[in-house]
């Protein structure tokens, strides 16, 4: 397998495993130190999150190790689960049933199939052009006009976020970057690592010194201290990982900075939807984190921007 021949990829995997061992040790120490009071619930939640991180990281690395097929299948499945959480929260009506069926069982696999066959032209317009027209027609044919605009717009946006945006992550594999042939898995690794680390670091900074809330109406946990601390650290880490990317150190820092800020915005947008629907989490599949969509919201918004910037500057 290609993985074992690429020293940089092995270093990334080794780094993540080391980080997880470190996190588990800290979690274990915390659970021994904090045995009473309100801190206990926080520590229990942190340990649940770390356990879930192990599962997610191992799944992701297995996908990376099995090449394009594994990565595409994994993200297709994540899209499916995320869309399911999104649609469950949407105010759908029986008139949406057929359009939704198509979204889950035709559009989602088709989008990832296009990544597999590397048909960039159709990949980039399938959902924004073809599906947005065809599903609106299908819903109109069902004949229910009540909140028609709201329903079609919501379902379309669900597909955009959960399927279209997210599919840009494995789509990184189809970029042809001079001097970086057959190494695109590392680019995907870089993006996922940076967005997820940024989530963690924002959480850690926010929990430890967070005071000034950015948008109290949307999320009580997002603070300026958390954002700035997370962004600065992640940007530094991104710069330090330049050897795994086609970027120079400065460019790697800028890419990490951009992914971090988009990720933050994604989290904010997805929280706004949750607040509007009166729920705390999109689901309960991932212990300590909530639903799948709660975990990938930052990646969904960072991936398309990261892809197009890389494509514009590095893949002529």
Partner 1 sequence: MIATLLAAVSRLISGASVQWHCDPTSEVQRIYFGNHSSHLDFIVIWSALPPRQRRFTRPVAGRDYWERGAIRRYLASRVFHAVLIDRSHAGAEGAIAAARASIQHMAQEMGDRHSLIVFPEGTRSLTGEVGRFKSGLYHLSRLRPDAELIPVHLENLNRILPKGETLPVPMLSRVVFGSRVPTSLDEDKHEFLAKARAALIQLGAM
97 binds partner 1 (CB under 8 A): yes
Minimum distance from residue 185 beta carbon to partner 1 (Å): 29
Minimum distance from residue 282 beta carbon to partner 1 (Å): 9
88 binds partner 1 (CB under 8 A): yes
Three-state helix/strand/coil letters over the chain: CHHHHCHHHHHHHHHHHHHHHHHHHHHHHHHHHCCCCCHHHHHHHHHHHHHHHHHHHHHHHHHHHCHHHHHHHHHHHHHHHHHHHHHHHCCCCHHHHHHHHHHHHHHHHHHHHHHHCCCHHHHCCHHHHHHHHHHHHHHHHCCCCCCHHHHHHHHHHHHHHHHHHHHHHHHHHHCCCCCCCCCHHHHHHHHHHHHHHHHHHHHHHHHHHCCCECCCCCCCCCEHHHHHHHHHHHHHHHHHCHHHCCCCHHHHHHHHHHHHHHHHHHHHHHHHHHHHHCCCCCCCCECCCECHHHHHHHHHHHHHHHHHHHHHHHCC
Residue 115's nearest CA partner among 161, 165, 62, 72 is 72
**According to CB under 8 A, which one of 22, 40, 101, 145 is a site residue for partner 1?**
101
Whose Cβ is closer to partner 1: residue 141's or residue 248's? 141
**According to CB under 8 A, which one of 49, 50, 85, 244 is a site residue for partner 1?**
85
Whose Cβ is closer to partner 1: residue 74's or residue 193's? 74
Span 237-296, contacts to partner 1 by CB under 8 A: 283-284
Number of residues that bind partner 1 (CB under 8 A): 14
**According to CB under 8 A, which one of 54, 77, 104, 157 is a site residue for partner 1?**
104
Minimum distance from residue 100 beta carbon to partner 1 (Å): 4
Minimum distance from residue 86 beta carbon to partner 1 (Å): 10
| 147-175 per-residue burial string, b: 16 or more CB within 10 A, e: under 16 | ebeebbebbbebbbbbbbbbbbbbbbbbb
Whose Cβ is closer to partner 1: residue 85's or residue 225's? 85
Minimum distance from residue 104 beta carbon to partner 1 (Å): 6
94 binds partner 1 (CB under 8 A): yes
Q: Choose the stretch contacting partner 1; rule: CB under 8 A; options: 11-19, 79-87, 183-191, 234-242.
A: 79-87
Structure tokens, 209: 């010194």
Q: Choose the stretch contacting partner 1; rule: CB under 8 A; options: 55-63, 99-107, 195-203, 250-258.
A: 99-107
195 binds partner 1 (CB under 8 A): no
Whose Cβ is closer to partner 1: residue 30's or residue 142's? 142
Whose Cβ is closer to partner 1: residue 61's or residue 100's? 100
Span 5-44, contacts to partner 1 by CB under 8 A: none
Residue 75's nearest CA partner among 188, 200, 227, 213 is 188
Minimum distance from residue 133 beta carbon to partner 1 (Å): 21
Which residues in this chain contact partner 1 in the complex, by CB under 8 A? Answer: 80, 84-85, 87-88, 92, 94, 97-98, 100-101, 104, 283-284
């Amino acid at each position: 397998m290609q993985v074992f021949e690429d020293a940089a990829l092995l270093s990334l995997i080794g780094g993540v495993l080391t980080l997880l061992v470190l996190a588990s040790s800290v979690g274990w120490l915390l659970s021994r130190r904090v045995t009473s009071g309100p801190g206990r619930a926080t520590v229990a939640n942190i340990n649940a999150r770390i356990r879930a991180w192990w599962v997610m990281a191992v799944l992701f690395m297995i996908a990376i190790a099995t090449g394009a097929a594994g990565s595409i299948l994994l993200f297709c499945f994540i899209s499916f689960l995320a869309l399911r959480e999104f649609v469950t929260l949407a105010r759908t009506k029986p008139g949406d049933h057929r359009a939704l069926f198509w979204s889950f069982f035709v559009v989602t696999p088709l989008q990832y199939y296009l990544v597999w066959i590397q048909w960039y032209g159709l990949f980039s317009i399938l959902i924004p052009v073809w599906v947005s027209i065809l599903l609106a027609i299908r819903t109109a044919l069902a004949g229910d006009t009540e909140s028609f605009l709201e329903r079609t717009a919501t379902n379309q946006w669900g597909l955009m976020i959960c399927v279209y945006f997210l599919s840009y992550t494995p789509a990184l594999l189809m970029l042809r970057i001079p001097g970086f042939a057959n190494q695109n898995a590392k680019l995907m690794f870089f993006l996922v690592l940076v967005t997820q680390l940024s989530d963690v670091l924002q959480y850690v900074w926010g929990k430890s010194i967070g005071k000034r809330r950015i948008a109290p109406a949307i999320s009580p946990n997002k603070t300026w201290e958390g954002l700035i601390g997370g962004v600065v650290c992640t940007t530094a880490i991104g710069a330090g990982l330049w050897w795994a990317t086609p970027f120079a150190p400065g460019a790697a820092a800028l890419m990490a900075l951009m992914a971090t800020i988009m990720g933050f915005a994604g989290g904010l947008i997805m929280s706004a939807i949750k607040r509007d629907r009166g729920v705390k989490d999109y689901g309960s599949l991932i212990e300590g984190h909530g639903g799948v969509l709660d975990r990938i919201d930052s990646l969904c918004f960072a991936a398309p921007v990261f892809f197009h910037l890389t494509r514009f500057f590095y893949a002529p």
